[in-house]
């Protein structure tokens, strides 16, 4: 009731598992490299709020803190524990690190991506950490920054009726990661793919911590134009969650993606753009030469 395996979720409703999880579940059927995982469904948040008497009445001043301090109902915790154990058993490489990521139905919309508004916790390494991260994702749905973003986008925000799934996914300890647009979001050139990439986990690029390498690729002629970024630091897995390390001079002075890797990214991008029927904004990671797609959403400008 409260969890579903990602590889079985492609026919689930948007409301139940959220946009991020639904897009990834559908991509798993396309032979695209998507890390395995499971979704904690929107019913879990509804149950959590009801059991703890957290329906919103008036003040917002301490709502996030009240939510974070509340206990996860036993039936939800038990089901999450079983799904987490099964996920680790199915991993190709034995490792207990996962990423816990929000997956709201009001996310990755054509006019409002909500990118960076909700919580993502990387390098989560045990069950208590998973359950605590689950609450952090739920709490982020009600944060001031999300309310402000929704207001800017003129989105009607009924705070007592906000479904959110949470995605628990095997973590890719990336050598290189970044974001890709299947059309140039600045010039609106639909024949040009734009890639921003840097070392380590994608958080450094997504959150603007670094000046990444930038690649412009023509869809028609496959011509590649490159701009070297400073790549000042990289985000990597720490003992708990993540930490930042300075990149070496050698790393800063060379491009982080090989042309063969760029070619692989382009081919997967064209496949996904055709499948979804619109330009896509992708988050990707590369580990030991293998490419993984971590998110796909419509391009917003």
Assess whether 84 and 230 both reside in one domain.
no
**Could you tell me the strand order of the sheet in which 176-181 lies?**
224-227, 213-218, 192-199, 176-181, 280-287, 290-298
Assess whether 34 and 129 both reside in one domain.
yes
Assess whether 8 and 154 both reside in one domain.
yes
CB 67 within 8 A of CB 50: no
Helices (H), 227-295: 249-252, 259-276
Assess whether 235 and 114 both reside in one domain.
no
CATH of residue 119's domain is 3.30.1490.20
Record the tokens describing residue 109, joined without a space.
């919309």
Assess whether 216 and 148 both reside in one domain.
no
CB 108 within 8 A of CB 72: no
Assess whether 125 and 242 both reside in one domain.
no
Helices (H), 70-123: 74-90
147 sits in which H/E element: helix 144-152
137-183 pLDDT, tens digit each: 999 888 766 666 555 655 565 555 568 999 999 999 999 999 999 99
Predicted pLDDT at 151: 53
How large a percentage of the chain has pLDDT more than 90? 73
Mean pLDDT for 189-213 is 96
Assess whether 196 and 240 both reside in one domain.
yes
Predicted pLDDT at 189: 95
The domain containing residue 34 runs over which residues?
Answer: 3-170
CATH of residue 280's domain is 3.30.470.20
Mean pLDDT for 10-15 is 94
In this model, does residue 35 exceed pLDDT 80? Answer: yes
Examine the fold and report which residue of 170, 205, 232 is the final residue of a domain before the chain moves on: 170
Assess whether 74 and 159 both reside in one domain.
yes
Assess whether 128 and 184 both reside in one domain.
no
Assess whether 156 and 249 both reside in one domain.
no
Examine the fold and report which residue of 141, 170, 199 is the final residue of a domain before the chain moves on: 170
Record the tokens describing residue 87, joined without a space.
């996920």
Predicted pLDDT at 242: 93
Examine the fold and report which residue of 170, 192, 219 is the final residue of a domain before the chain moves on: 170
User: Smallest Cα–Cα separation from 68: which of 8, 140, 4?
Assistant: 140
In this model, does residue 109 exceed pLDDT 50? Answer: no
Assess whether 133 and 98 both reside in one domain.
yes
Bigger pLDDT: 241 vs 92: 241
Report the largest interatomic distance among the alpha carbons of the chain, rounded to a whole angstrom: 59
Number of domains into which the chain is organized: 2
How large a percentage of the chain has pLDDT more than 70? 86
Question: CA–CA separation, 262 vs 223, rounded Å?
Answer: 11
Assess whether 164 and 182 both reside in one domain.
no
């Amino acid at each position: 009731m409260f969890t579903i395996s990602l590889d079985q979720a492609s026919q689930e409703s948007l409301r139940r598992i959220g946009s991020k999880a639904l897009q990834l579940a559908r991509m798993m059927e396309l032979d695209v490299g998507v890390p395995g995982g499971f979704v904690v469904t929107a019913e879990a948040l509804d149950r959590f709020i009801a059991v703890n008497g957290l329906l919103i009445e008036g003040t917002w001043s301490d709502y996030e803190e009240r939510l974070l301090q509340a206990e996860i109902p036993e039936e939800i915790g038990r089901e999450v524990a079983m799904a987490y154990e099964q996920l680790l058993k199915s991993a190709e490489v034995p490792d207990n690190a996962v990423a816990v990521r929000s997956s709201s139905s009001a996310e990755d919309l054509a006019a409002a991506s909500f990118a960076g508004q909700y919580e993502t916790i990387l390098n989560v390494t045990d069950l208590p950490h998973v359950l605590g991260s689950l609450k952090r994702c739920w709490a982020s749905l009600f944060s001031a920054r999300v309310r402000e973003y929704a207001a800017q986008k003129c989105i009607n925000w009924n705070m007592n009726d906000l479904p959110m799934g949470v995605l628990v996914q095997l973590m890719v300890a990336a050598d290189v990661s970044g974001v890709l647009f299947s059309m140039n979001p600045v010039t609106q050139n639909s024949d040009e793919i734009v890639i921003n990439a840097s070392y380590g986990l994608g958080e450094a690029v997504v959150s603007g911590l670094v000046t990444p390498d930038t690649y412009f690729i023509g869809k028609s002629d496959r011509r590649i134009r490159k701009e070297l970024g400073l790549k000042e630091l990289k985000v990597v897995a720490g003992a708990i969650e993540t930490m930042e390390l300075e990149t070496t001079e050698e790393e800063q002075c060379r491009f982080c993606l090989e042309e063969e890797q760029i070619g692989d990214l382009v081919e997967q991008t064209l496949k996904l753009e055709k499948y979804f029927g619109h330009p896509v904004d992708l988050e990707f990671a590369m580990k030991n030469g293998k490419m993984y797609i971590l998110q796909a959403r419509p391009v917003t400008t």
